[in-house]
Structure 1
Amino acid sequence: MHTPLTEPPAAAEAEHLERQRAAITRLGHELRALVEATVRTAASHDTLHRAADGVRHVTGQLTGRRRARAEVPEVDGFPGGPRMYSPVVGAGSPLAPPVHITPTDDGLIGHCTLGFAHEGPPGYGHGGMSAMLLDELMGQACTAAGTPGLTVSLQMRYHQPIPLETPLHILGRVTGTNNRKIFVTGAITTQADPSTNLVTADGVFIAPDPDQVRALFPGMREEA
Protein backbone atom coordinates (compact mmCIF):
# COMPACT_ATOMS: atom_id res chain seq x y z
CA MET A 1 0.00 0.00 0.00
CA HIS A 2 1.46 3.32 -1.05
CA THR A 3 1.35 6.27 1.31
CA PRO A 4 0.11 9.38 -0.56
CA LEU A 5 2.76 12.04 -0.89
CA THR A 6 2.02 15.37 0.74
CA GLU A 7 3.57 18.68 -0.14
CA PRO A 8 5.90 20.19 2.49
CA PRO A 9 4.24 23.16 4.26
CA ALA A 10 6.77 25.64 2.85
CA ALA A 11 6.24 24.42 -0.71
CA ALA A 12 2.45 24.52 -0.30
CA GLU A 13 2.63 28.06 1.03
CA ALA A 14 4.88 29.15 -1.83
CA GLU A 15 2.47 27.65 -4.37
CA HIS A 16 -0.47 29.39 -2.69
CA LEU A 17 1.33 32.76 -2.81
CA GLU A 18 2.25 32.23 -6.46
CA ARG A 19 -1.36 31.49 -7.40
CA GLN A 20 -2.65 34.40 -5.35
CA ARG A 21 -0.17 36.83 -6.91
CA ALA A 22 -1.04 35.58 -10.40
CA ALA A 23 -4.74 36.18 -9.73
CA ILE A 24 -4.06 39.62 -8.25
CA THR A 25 -1.91 40.51 -11.27
CA ARG A 26 -4.64 39.43 -13.69
CA LEU A 27 -7.32 41.40 -11.85
CA GLY A 28 -5.03 44.44 -11.65
CA HIS A 29 -4.41 44.29 -15.41
CA GLU A 30 -8.14 44.22 -16.15
CA LEU A 31 -8.85 47.02 -13.67
CA ARG A 32 -6.19 49.23 -15.27
CA ALA A 33 -7.80 48.59 -18.66
CA LEU A 34 -11.17 49.55 -17.15
CA VAL A 35 -9.78 52.75 -15.61
CA GLU A 36 -8.11 53.73 -18.90
CA ALA A 37 -11.32 53.07 -20.85
CA THR A 38 -13.31 55.06 -18.28
CA VAL A 39 -11.21 58.21 -18.60
CA ARG A 40 -11.08 58.04 -22.41
CA THR A 41 -14.64 57.07 -23.30
CA ALA A 42 -17.19 59.30 -24.99
CA ALA A 43 -19.99 56.79 -24.40
CA SER A 44 -23.57 57.92 -23.84
CA HIS A 45 -24.99 58.49 -20.39
CA ASP A 46 -27.13 55.34 -20.75
CA THR A 47 -24.03 53.26 -21.46
CA LEU A 48 -22.23 54.82 -18.51
CA HIS A 49 -25.13 54.02 -16.17
CA ARG A 50 -25.16 50.39 -17.34
CA ALA A 51 -21.41 50.18 -16.86
CA ALA A 52 -21.74 51.63 -13.34
CA ASP A 53 -24.30 48.93 -12.50
CA GLY A 54 -21.92 46.27 -13.80
CA VAL A 55 -19.00 47.62 -11.79
CA ARG A 56 -21.16 47.69 -8.65
CA HIS A 57 -22.02 44.04 -9.23
CA VAL A 58 -18.33 43.12 -9.60
CA THR A 59 -17.43 45.07 -6.46
CA GLY A 60 -20.03 43.07 -4.57
CA GLN A 61 -18.15 39.87 -5.40
CA LEU A 62 -15.04 41.00 -3.53
CA THR A 63 -16.34 39.84 -0.18
CA GLY A 64 -14.70 38.35 2.87
CA ARG A 65 -12.35 39.79 5.43
CA ARG A 66 -10.76 43.13 4.58
CA ARG A 67 -7.26 43.84 5.78
CA ALA A 68 -6.71 46.50 8.41
CA ARG A 69 -4.91 49.80 7.78
CA ALA A 70 -1.51 48.73 9.09
CA GLU A 71 -1.75 45.08 8.04
CA VAL A 72 0.86 43.82 5.56
CA PRO A 73 -0.81 41.69 2.84
CA GLU A 74 0.27 38.05 2.85
CA VAL A 75 1.31 38.41 -0.81
CA ASP A 76 3.73 41.23 -0.01
CA GLY A 77 7.35 40.99 1.08
CA PHE A 78 7.80 44.11 3.18
CA PRO A 79 10.36 45.55 3.34
CA GLY A 80 12.41 44.81 0.25
CA GLY A 81 10.03 42.38 -1.48
CA PRO A 82 7.08 42.64 -3.87
CA ARG A 83 4.35 45.19 -3.12
CA MET A 84 1.33 43.91 -5.02
CA TYR A 85 -0.91 46.92 -4.33
CA SER A 86 1.63 49.76 -4.55
CA PRO A 87 0.26 52.68 -6.62
CA VAL A 88 3.64 52.79 -8.41
CA VAL A 89 4.93 49.23 -8.85
CA GLY A 90 1.95 47.11 -7.79
CA ALA A 91 0.78 44.63 -10.42
CA GLY A 92 -2.53 44.44 -8.56
CA SER A 93 -3.14 48.18 -8.31
CA PRO A 94 -5.51 49.88 -10.77
CA LEU A 95 -3.64 53.14 -10.07
CA ALA A 96 -0.12 51.95 -10.92
CA PRO A 97 1.39 52.25 -14.44
CA PRO A 98 2.93 49.80 -13.13
CA VAL A 99 6.70 50.38 -13.02
CA HIS A 100 9.02 47.42 -13.64
CA ILE A 101 12.41 47.86 -11.95
CA THR A 102 15.80 46.42 -12.87
CA PRO A 103 19.24 47.05 -11.32
CA THR A 104 21.97 49.06 -13.03
CA ASP A 105 25.70 49.35 -12.29
CA ASP A 106 25.09 52.17 -9.79
CA GLY A 107 21.39 52.13 -8.94
CA LEU A 108 18.00 51.17 -10.32
CA ILE A 109 16.03 51.89 -13.48
CA GLY A 110 12.26 51.73 -13.79
CA HIS A 111 10.33 51.14 -16.99
CA CYS A 112 6.74 52.28 -17.48
CA THR A 113 4.28 54.08 -19.73
CA LEU A 114 1.79 56.57 -18.32
CA GLY A 115 -1.78 56.41 -19.61
CA PHE A 116 -4.68 58.89 -19.65
CA ALA A 117 -5.49 57.95 -16.07
CA HIS A 118 -2.26 59.77 -15.10
CA GLU A 119 -2.94 62.89 -17.17
CA GLY A 120 -2.27 66.42 -15.95
CA PRO A 121 -2.00 68.94 -18.80
CA PRO A 122 -3.71 67.48 -21.92
CA GLY A 123 -1.41 64.85 -23.41
CA TYR A 124 1.10 64.88 -20.54
CA GLY A 125 1.53 63.26 -17.15
CA HIS A 126 0.50 64.97 -13.92
CA GLY A 127 3.44 66.54 -12.09
CA GLY A 128 2.46 64.66 -8.95
CA MET A 129 2.89 61.39 -10.83
CA SER A 130 6.49 62.37 -11.63
CA ALA A 131 7.13 62.99 -7.93
CA MET A 132 5.55 59.66 -6.97
CA LEU A 133 7.57 57.75 -9.58
CA LEU A 134 10.84 59.30 -8.44
CA ASP A 135 10.08 58.94 -4.74
CA GLU A 136 9.49 55.21 -5.29
CA LEU A 137 12.60 54.61 -7.40
CA MET A 138 14.83 56.64 -5.11
CA GLY A 139 13.47 54.86 -2.04
CA GLN A 140 13.99 51.47 -3.65
CA ALA A 141 17.53 52.55 -4.60
CA CYS A 142 18.19 53.02 -0.88
CA THR A 143 16.99 49.50 -0.15
CA ALA A 144 19.00 48.05 -3.04
CA ALA A 145 22.11 49.77 -1.64
CA GLY A 146 21.55 48.08 1.73
CA THR A 147 20.32 51.23 3.50
CA PRO A 148 16.48 51.24 3.52
CA GLY A 149 15.12 54.68 4.35
CA LEU A 150 12.05 56.89 4.56
CA THR A 151 11.71 60.11 2.58
CA VAL A 152 12.70 63.29 4.43
CA SER A 153 12.78 65.68 1.49
CA LEU A 154 12.40 65.53 -2.29
CA GLN A 155 13.44 68.51 -4.38
CA MET A 156 11.92 68.31 -7.87
CA ARG A 157 12.93 70.10 -11.06
CA TYR A 158 10.55 69.91 -14.01
CA HIS A 159 12.51 70.50 -17.23
CA GLN A 160 9.95 69.26 -19.78
CA PRO A 161 6.48 67.70 -19.50
CA ILE A 162 6.21 63.90 -19.42
CA PRO A 163 4.38 62.64 -22.53
CA LEU A 164 1.61 60.08 -22.14
CA GLU A 165 1.67 56.75 -24.00
CA THR A 166 5.46 56.97 -24.28
CA PRO A 167 7.86 54.40 -22.75
CA LEU A 168 9.76 56.05 -19.89
CA HIS A 169 12.88 55.41 -17.86
CA ILE A 170 12.98 56.38 -14.17
CA LEU A 171 16.40 56.38 -12.52
CA GLY A 172 17.35 56.23 -8.84
CA ARG A 173 20.89 56.29 -7.42
CA VAL A 174 22.34 56.66 -3.92
CA THR A 175 25.09 59.30 -3.95
CA GLY A 176 26.20 59.24 -0.32
CA THR A 177 25.34 58.76 3.34
CA ASN A 178 25.86 60.67 6.57
CA ASN A 179 25.06 58.62 9.67
CA ARG A 180 21.39 57.69 9.14
CA LYS A 181 20.86 60.12 6.26
CA ILE A 182 20.94 58.79 2.69
CA PHE A 183 21.36 61.12 -0.28
CA VAL A 184 19.76 60.05 -3.55
CA THR A 185 19.33 61.46 -7.06
CA GLY A 186 16.70 60.57 -9.63
CA ALA A 187 15.62 61.41 -13.15
CA ILE A 188 12.87 60.65 -15.66
CA THR A 189 13.64 60.36 -19.38
CA THR A 190 11.98 58.76 -22.36
CA GLN A 191 13.23 55.37 -23.45
CA ALA A 192 13.90 56.78 -26.92
CA ASP A 193 16.03 59.69 -25.62
CA PRO A 194 17.63 58.62 -22.33
CA SER A 195 20.17 61.46 -22.40
CA THR A 196 17.51 64.19 -22.07
CA ASN A 197 16.18 64.62 -18.52
CA LEU A 198 12.51 65.56 -18.36
CA VAL A 199 12.32 65.65 -14.57
CA THR A 200 15.13 65.40 -12.01
CA ALA A 201 15.16 65.18 -8.24
CA ASP A 202 17.47 65.27 -5.24
CA GLY A 203 16.27 63.47 -2.15
CA VAL A 204 17.21 62.92 1.46
CA PHE A 205 16.08 59.69 3.10
CA ILE A 206 16.65 58.53 6.66
CA ALA A 207 17.14 55.01 7.99
CA PRO A 208 14.74 54.54 10.93
CA ASP A 209 15.99 52.76 14.02
CA PRO A 210 14.39 49.41 15.00
CA ASP A 211 12.04 51.01 17.55
CA GLN A 212 10.76 53.45 14.92
CA VAL A 213 10.23 50.60 12.47
CA ARG A 214 8.14 48.65 14.98
CA ALA A 215 6.10 51.75 15.85
CA LEU A 216 5.49 52.75 12.23
CA PHE A 217 4.81 49.26 10.89
CA PRO A 218 3.21 47.15 13.64
CA GLY A 219 1.88 44.70 11.05
CA MET A 220 5.29 43.85 9.65
CA ARG A 221 6.14 40.19 10.04
CA GLU A 222 9.21 39.49 12.16
CA GLU A 223 10.80 37.29 9.47
CA ALA A 224 10.71 40.23 7.00
Structure 2
Amino acid sequence: MHTPLTEPPAEAGADSLEDQKAAITRLGHELRTLVETTVRTAASPDTLHRVADGVRQVTAQLTGRRRARAEIPEVDGFPGGPRMYSPVVGAGSPLAPPVSITPTDDGLIGHCTLGLAHEGPPGYGHGGMSAMLLDELMGQACTAAGTPGMTVSLQMRYHQPIPLETPLRILGRVTGTDNRKVFVTGTITTEADPSTRLVSADGVFIAPDPDRARALFPGLREEA
Protein backbone atom coordinates (compact mmCIF):
# COMPACT_ATOMS: atom_id res chain seq x y z
CA MET A 1 0.00 0.00 0.00
CA HIS A 2 2.90 2.35 0.75
CA THR A 3 5.94 3.00 -1.40
CA PRO A 4 9.11 2.32 0.64
CA LEU A 5 10.96 5.49 1.57
CA THR A 6 14.18 4.53 -0.17
CA GLU A 7 16.03 7.31 -1.95
CA PRO A 8 19.03 7.57 -4.28
CA PRO A 9 22.28 8.82 -2.74
CA ALA A 10 22.05 12.52 -1.97
CA GLU A 11 24.12 14.85 -4.11
CA ALA A 12 26.04 17.65 -2.46
CA GLY A 13 24.97 21.19 -3.16
CA ALA A 14 22.46 23.87 -2.31
CA ASP A 15 19.71 22.40 -4.49
CA SER A 16 19.83 19.00 -2.78
CA LEU A 17 19.78 20.65 0.65
CA GLU A 18 16.74 22.71 -0.32
CA ASP A 19 15.01 19.57 -1.60
CA GLN A 20 15.81 17.84 1.69
CA LYS A 21 14.45 20.77 3.71
CA ALA A 22 11.26 20.80 1.65
CA ALA A 23 10.75 17.08 2.22
CA ILE A 24 11.44 17.44 5.96
CA THR A 25 8.98 20.33 6.16
CA ARG A 26 6.27 18.36 4.38
CA LEU A 27 6.73 15.32 6.62
CA GLY A 28 6.79 17.53 9.72
CA HIS A 29 3.48 19.11 8.72
CA GLU A 30 1.82 15.72 8.23
CA LEU A 31 3.20 14.41 11.51
CA ARG A 32 1.89 17.44 13.41
CA THR A 33 -1.52 16.84 11.83
CA LEU A 34 -1.34 13.20 12.93
CA VAL A 35 -0.36 14.15 16.50
CA GLU A 36 -3.15 16.72 16.78
CA THR A 37 -5.70 14.29 15.36
CA THR A 38 -4.48 11.57 17.71
CA VAL A 39 -5.05 13.63 20.87
CA ARG A 40 -8.52 14.64 19.67
CA THR A 41 -9.87 11.32 18.45
CA ALA A 42 -12.58 9.30 20.13
CA ALA A 43 -12.09 6.38 17.75
CA SER A 44 -12.79 2.83 18.88
CA PRO A 45 -10.07 0.57 20.29
CA ASP A 46 -10.15 -1.52 17.10
CA THR A 47 -9.52 1.57 15.00
CA LEU A 48 -6.70 2.72 17.27
CA HIS A 49 -5.01 -0.69 17.12
CA ARG A 50 -5.30 -0.71 13.33
CA VAL A 51 -3.84 2.80 13.07
CA ALA A 52 -1.02 1.87 15.47
CA ASP A 53 -0.12 -1.05 13.17
CA GLY A 54 -0.11 1.33 10.19
CA VAL A 55 2.11 3.85 11.99
CA ARG A 56 4.56 1.06 12.86
CA GLN A 57 4.74 0.10 9.19
CA VAL A 58 5.39 3.72 8.20
CA THR A 59 8.11 4.07 10.83
CA ALA A 60 9.82 0.97 9.45
CA GLN A 61 10.18 2.73 6.09
CA LEU A 62 12.49 5.38 7.54
CA THR A 63 15.59 3.38 6.76
CA GLY A 64 19.21 4.40 6.38
CA ARG A 65 21.79 5.90 8.70
CA ARG A 66 20.48 7.48 11.90
CA ARG A 67 21.86 10.73 13.25
CA ALA A 68 24.02 10.41 16.35
CA ARG A 69 23.12 12.27 19.56
CA ALA A 70 25.55 15.18 19.17
CA GLU A 71 25.57 15.25 15.37
CA ILE A 72 24.45 18.52 13.79
CA PRO A 73 22.04 17.87 10.90
CA GLU A 74 23.31 18.96 7.49
CA VAL A 75 20.08 20.91 6.98
CA ASP A 76 20.63 22.99 10.14
CA GLY A 77 22.36 26.35 10.35
CA PHE A 78 23.79 25.81 13.84
CA PRO A 79 24.92 28.00 15.44
CA GLY A 80 22.72 30.97 14.66
CA GLY A 81 20.69 29.51 11.81
CA PRO A 82 17.38 27.65 11.47
CA ARG A 83 16.99 24.32 13.27
CA MET A 84 14.77 21.97 11.26
CA TYR A 85 13.99 19.64 14.17
CA SER A 86 13.70 22.18 17.01
CA PRO A 87 10.68 21.36 19.23
CA VAL A 88 9.80 25.08 19.14
CA VAL A 89 10.56 26.44 15.67
CA GLY A 90 11.42 23.33 13.66
CA ALA A 91 9.38 22.84 10.51
CA GLY A 92 10.34 19.16 10.62
CA SER A 93 9.40 18.55 14.24
CA PRO A 94 6.08 16.88 15.13
CA LEU A 95 6.37 18.53 18.58
CA ALA A 96 6.72 22.17 17.45
CA PRO A 97 3.74 24.53 16.99
CA PRO A 98 5.94 25.66 15.04
CA VAL A 99 6.87 29.30 15.81
CA SER A 100 7.69 31.69 12.96
CA ILE A 101 10.07 34.49 13.96
CA THR A 102 10.64 37.97 12.55
CA PRO A 103 12.85 40.83 13.78
CA THR A 104 11.50 43.97 15.43
CA ASP A 105 13.18 47.31 16.15
CA ASP A 106 14.51 46.06 19.49
CA GLY A 107 14.25 42.27 19.45
CA LEU A 108 12.33 39.39 17.93
CA ILE A 109 8.66 38.50 17.66
CA GLY A 110 7.31 34.98 17.27
CA HIS A 111 3.91 33.88 16.02
CA CYS A 112 2.27 30.53 16.68
CA THR A 113 -0.93 28.79 17.69
CA LEU A 114 -0.94 25.98 20.25
CA GLY A 115 -3.15 22.96 19.70
CA LEU A 116 -4.51 20.25 21.97
CA ALA A 117 -1.18 18.46 21.72
CA HIS A 118 0.23 21.27 23.90
CA GLU A 119 -2.60 21.22 26.45
CA GLY A 120 -2.10 21.54 30.20
CA PRO A 121 -5.34 22.55 31.97
CA PRO A 122 -8.32 21.74 29.72
CA GLY A 123 -8.49 24.37 26.99
CA TYR A 124 -5.16 26.02 27.89
CA GLY A 125 -1.50 25.54 27.11
CA HIS A 126 0.86 23.66 29.41
CA GLY A 127 2.97 25.98 31.56
CA GLY A 128 6.12 24.19 30.47
CA MET A 129 5.24 24.96 26.87
CA SER A 130 5.10 28.66 27.73
CA ALA A 131 8.58 28.41 29.26
CA MET A 132 9.91 26.63 26.18
CA LEU A 133 8.46 29.27 23.84
CA LEU A 134 10.01 32.10 25.82
CA ASP A 135 13.35 30.36 26.30
CA GLU A 136 13.61 29.92 22.52
CA LEU A 137 12.63 33.48 21.62
CA MET A 138 14.85 35.00 24.28
CA GLY A 139 17.79 32.85 23.23
CA GLN A 140 17.32 33.77 19.59
CA ALA A 141 17.07 37.43 20.61
CA CYS A 142 20.58 37.09 22.08
CA THR A 143 21.88 35.73 18.80
CA ALA A 144 20.11 38.42 16.78
CA ALA A 145 21.73 41.08 18.98
CA GLY A 146 25.18 39.63 18.29
CA THR A 147 25.54 38.16 21.80
CA PRO A 148 24.61 34.45 21.49
CA GLY A 149 24.38 32.56 24.74
CA MET A 150 22.91 29.63 26.64
CA THR A 151 20.25 29.87 29.34
CA VAL A 152 21.49 29.95 32.92
CA SER A 153 18.40 31.47 34.55
CA LEU A 154 14.77 31.88 33.46
CA GLN A 155 12.32 33.47 35.90
CA MET A 156 8.73 32.92 34.79
CA ARG A 157 5.58 34.81 35.78
CA TYR A 158 2.23 33.36 34.76
CA HIS A 159 -0.33 36.17 34.69
CA GLN A 160 -3.14 34.38 32.83
CA PRO A 161 -3.51 30.96 31.20
CA ILE A 162 -2.54 30.64 27.52
CA PRO A 163 -5.63 29.78 25.41
CA LEU A 164 -5.32 26.98 22.87
CA GLU A 165 -6.25 27.44 19.19
CA THR A 166 -5.59 31.17 19.55
CA PRO A 167 -2.89 33.06 17.60
CA LEU A 168 -0.11 34.10 19.99
CA ARG A 169 2.72 36.65 19.99
CA ILE A 170 6.00 35.87 21.75
CA LEU A 171 8.51 38.68 22.25
CA GLY A 172 12.18 38.46 23.15
CA ARG A 173 14.43 41.47 23.82
CA VAL A 174 17.99 41.90 25.11
CA THR A 175 18.09 44.50 27.89
CA GLY A 176 21.79 44.52 28.80
CA THR A 177 25.10 42.68 29.00
CA ASP A 178 27.83 42.15 31.59
CA ASN A 179 30.93 40.52 30.11
CA ARG A 180 29.65 37.16 28.88
CA LYS A 181 26.26 37.53 30.59
CA VAL A 182 23.26 38.66 28.53
CA PHE A 183 20.05 39.88 30.19
CA VAL A 184 16.81 39.28 28.29
CA THR A 185 13.07 39.80 28.79
CA GLY A 186 10.18 38.05 27.08
CA THR A 187 6.39 38.06 27.00
CA ILE A 188 3.54 36.03 25.55
CA THR A 189 0.29 37.71 24.54
CA THR A 190 -2.48 36.97 22.07
CA GLU A 191 -2.37 38.54 18.63
CA ALA A 192 -5.79 40.07 19.28
CA ASP A 193 -4.75 41.72 22.58
CA PRO A 194 -0.99 42.36 22.53
CA SER A 195 -1.18 44.80 25.47
CA THR A 196 -2.31 42.10 27.94
CA ARG A 197 0.56 39.91 29.13
CA LEU A 198 -0.31 36.27 29.66
CA VAL A 199 3.20 35.12 30.60
CA SER A 200 6.41 37.10 31.09
CA ALA A 201 9.98 36.15 31.86
CA ASP A 202 13.39 37.56 32.77
CA GLY A 203 16.39 35.53 31.73
CA VAL A 204 20.15 35.44 32.02
CA PHE A 205 22.12 33.86 29.19
CA ILE A 206 25.85 33.35 29.02
CA ALA A 207 28.15 32.95 26.04
CA PRO A 208 30.41 29.92 26.54
CA ASP A 209 34.10 30.48 25.82
CA PRO A 210 35.43 28.77 22.67
CA ASP A 211 36.91 25.78 24.52
CA ARG A 212 33.67 25.18 26.40
CA ALA A 213 31.65 25.55 23.20
CA ARG A 214 33.76 22.92 21.44
CA ALA A 215 33.34 20.57 24.40
CA LEU A 216 29.56 21.04 24.45
CA PHE A 217 29.15 20.80 20.68
CA PRO A 218 31.78 18.42 19.28
CA GLY A 219 30.16 18.67 15.84
CA LEU A 220 31.58 22.20 15.60
CA ARG A 221 35.19 21.08 15.90
CA GLU A 222 35.65 20.55 12.18
CA GLU A 223 34.25 24.03 11.48
CA ALA A 224 36.24 25.81 14.20
Q: If the TM-score is normalised by the length of the shorter chain, which range does it land in? A: over 0.9
Aligned to 2:37: 37
Q: Identity of aligned pairs, percent?
A: 88
Unaligned runs of 5+ in 2: 1-10
Q: Structure 2 matches for 1:128-143, cutoff 5 A?
A: 128-143=128-143
Amino acid at match of 1:14: A
After superposition, the C-alpha distances for 1:158-187 in whole angstroms (9 at most, x for unaligned) are: 000000000000000000000100000000
Aligned to 1:73: 73
Amino acid at match of 1:154: L
Does residue 49 of the first structure (1) align with residue 53 of the second (2)? no
Aligned to 2:7: none
Unaligned runs of 5+ in 1: 1-10
Alpha-carbon separation, structure 1, partners of 2:111 and 2:221 = 29
SS of the residue corresponding to residue 48 of structure 2 reads helix
Aligned to 2:195: 195
**Cα offset for 1:12?**
5.5
After superposition, the C-alpha distances for 1:31-74 in whole angstroms (9 at most, x for unaligned) are: 00000000000000000001000000000000110010000000
Q: Please report the TM-score for the alignment, with normalisation by the length of structure 2.
A: 0.94
Count of aligned pairs between the two proteins:
214
CA gap of 1:221–1:194, structure 2 versus 1, over 3 A, is farther
**Cα offset for 1:220?**
2.3
**Cα offset for 1:84?**
0.2
Alpha-carbon separation, structure 1, partners of 2:217 and 2:43 = 44
Q: Is the 8 A contact 2:114 2:165 kept in 1?
A: yes
Amino acid at match of 1:54: G
SS of the residue corresponding to residue 89 of structure 2 reads coil
**Cα offset for 1:221?**
6.0
Does residue 173 of the first structure (1) align with residue 173 of the second (2)? yes
Alpha-carbon separation, structure 1, partners of 2:127 and 2:137 = 16
CA gap of 1:37–1:221, structure 2 versus 1, over 3 A, is farther
Does residue 62 of the first structure (1) align with residue 56 of the second (2)? no
Q: Is the 8 A contact 1:169 1:191 kept in 2?
A: yes
Does residue 27 of the first structure (1) align with residue 32 of the second (2)? no
SS of the residue corresponding to residue 84 of structure 2 reads coil
Q: Please report the TM-score for the alignment, with normalisation by the length of structure 1.
A: 0.94
Q: Is the 8 A contact 1:177 1:183 kept in 2?
A: yes
After superposition, the C-alpha distances for 1:136-177 in whole angstroms (9 at most, x for unaligned) are: 000000000000000000000000000000000000000000
Alpha-carbon separation, structure 1, partners of 2:112 and 2:187 = 13
Alpha-carbon separation, structure 1, partners of 2:81 and 2:34 = 27
**Cα offset for 1:82?**
1.1
Amino acid at match of 1:171: L
Q: Is the 8 A contact 1:143 1:149 kept in 2?
A: yes
Q: Structure 2 matches for 1:90-101, cutoff 5 A?
A: 90-101=90-101
Q: Is the 8 A contact 2:214 2:221 kept in 1?
A: no
Aligned to 1:84: 84
Aligned to 1:209: 209
**Cα offset for 1:222?**
4.4
SS of the residue corresponding to residue 219 of structure 1 reads helix
